[in-house]
Amino acid sequence: MKKWSFIFFAAVVGLAVTTTGFAMGKLPDKKAIVLADFGTTYLSALKAITTIQNEVKKDFPNIEVRMAFTSNIIRNIWHKRRQDAAFMKEHGKNLKEFLSIKGPLATIADLQDEGYRTIIVQPCHIYSGEEYADLRSYVNGLNTIHTIKAKYMPFVKLAIGRPALGTYGPAHDYHEDMETAAKVLKDDVALAGKEKAALVYMGHGNEYYSTGIYAEFQQVLRKMYPGVKIFMGTVEGFPSLDDVLAGLKHAKIRKVVLKPFMVVAGDHANNDMAGDDNDSWKNQIKKLGIRVVPILHGLGENRAWARIYVRHIKDAAKDNGIELK
């Protein structure tokens, strides 16, 4: 993938250079937003992505908003669907945008080619982990382009928004981002309260980065909602399922509402979390004599969660002096 990323990068650079090299007169400057997500092929999980998309479009009706999927496999599956007559008949109209979905680099390059030179890339990520670091690296890479003549710069501004739980640096205090995100989850907490259950979130995590933010966010939630016991774990990293199990035992929990702390409820939610195998989160929790109510909805399906990304787009615009009108 790295190799292809490089080729793509080279292609974008090449494209940008060609565009500027042959540009006559002043380049146009239109504005666009790119929403970048890992992606999904499941139509039932797509709601999480379209909810975010719709919220963003609602706030920026005059700005071009494009979706980009970072997963090559998922993009390929969508592209193949264009040859599928039955699929096209059923979904061709509604899902047109996804049928030709591209990765973030190609999406940015397309926009630039079409005269969009002020672009905000907003990741639909949870926290500043590996995927966000990679996306940021793409954007930083493109921002190193410096043409001889300033007027031929491919981008007027190419900015990146921060993930839901924020990122490093003093510009936006990530503690405040966590407070906002915690507030948004009030319905999940209320559901657990109604069920007289603890709330267990299963995050994705990462094995190449510290995932301490999940533990920190767990504390934020516990402080904000003292009436419900809340546990946060990750598929990869810390806190692990074992940590969650230890917590549940320690707190003598008898029932939990189990929900993915992921934007999309895809394979992880269906298999790792609520699957039938002995090692699924659901069964490992049930082994302790705890009843489990699994909820198979991604965070993105929650409009209030989607609004977080809208706010982060607005912040990125403000920080970069971009007027989104």
Partner 1 sequence: MRTIHRTIGFLCLFLFLGVTAAGAVVIVDAGGKRVTVSPPYHRIISLYGAHTENLFSLGLNKEIIGVSRHEAYPPAATRKPVFSYHEDAERFIAARPDLVLVRPMITRGYPALMRKLRAAGITVVSLQPTSVDGMLTYWKTLGLLTGRGKAAARMIARFEAGIARIKKMVAGIPKDKRKRVYFEAIHSRMKTFAPNAIAMFALKTAGGINVAADAKAVRGTNIAEYGKERILSHADEIDVFLAQRGAMNRVTRRKILEEGGFKAIKAVREGRIYIIDEKIISRPTLRLVTGIYEIGRFLYPETFNDVSNLRAKKLLTRAQFAEMIVKVTGIPIKTPSYRHDILKRRKGSHCYGDYRDVDYTSEASAYIETAVARGLFRNAGGRRFFPLKPILRGDVAYGIFMKFDLPEARPVKISDIPEDDPLYPQAAAVAGLGIMKLNQGKFAPGRVVSGEAAYQALKRAVAVTERK
Contact between 214 and 205 (Cβ < 8 Å): yes
Q: Dihedral sign, CA of 294, 295, 297, 300?
A: negative
- Which of residues 23 and 296 has its CB atom nearest to partner 1 in the complex? 296
User: How many residues bind partner 1, per CB under 8 A?
Assistant: 31
Q: Which of 91, 186, 297, 314 binds partner 1 (CB under 8 A)?
A: 91
Cα-only R_g, the chain = 21
Q: Which of 14, 21, 58, 90 binds partner 1 (CB under 8 A)?
A: 90
Residue 89 found at the interface with partner 1 (CB under 8 A): yes
Q: Dihedral sign, CA of 270, 271, 276, 282?
A: negative
In this structure, how many other beta carbons lie within 10 angstroms of the beta carbon of residue 113?
A: 14
Q: Which of 10, 11, 84, 137 binds partner 1 (CB under 8 A)?
A: 84
Contact between 155 and 31 (Cβ < 8 Å): no
Q: Which stretch binds partner 1 (CB under 8 A): 62-70, 109-117, 132-140, 269-277?
A: 269-277
Residue in the block written with tokens 């954007």:
139
DSSP 82-149: GG-HHHHHHHTTTTHHHHT-B-HHHHHHHHHHTTEEEEEEEE--SSSSHHHHHHHHHHHHHTT---SS
Residue 288 found at the interface with partner 1 (CB under 8 A): yes
Residue 270 found at the interface with partner 1 (CB under 8 A): yes
Residue 73 found at the interface with partner 1 (CB under 8 A): no
- Which of residues 184 and 269 has its CB atom nearest to partner 1 in the complex? 269
Q: Which of 61, 227, 289, 321 binds partner 1 (CB under 8 A)?
A: 289
Single-letter code of the amino acid located at 236: E
- Which of residues 165 and 273 has its CB atom nearest to partner 1 in the complex? 273
Residue 54 found at the interface with partner 1 (CB under 8 A): no
Residue 290 found at the interface with partner 1 (CB under 8 A): yes
Q: Which of 151, 223, 287, 303 binds partner 1 (CB under 8 A)?
A: 287
Residue 93 found at the interface with partner 1 (CB under 8 A): no
∠ Cα 314 315 317 (to 5°): 65
Catalog residues that contact partner 1 under the rule CB under 8 A.
41-44, 80-81, 84-91, 254, 270, 276-279, 283-284, 286-294
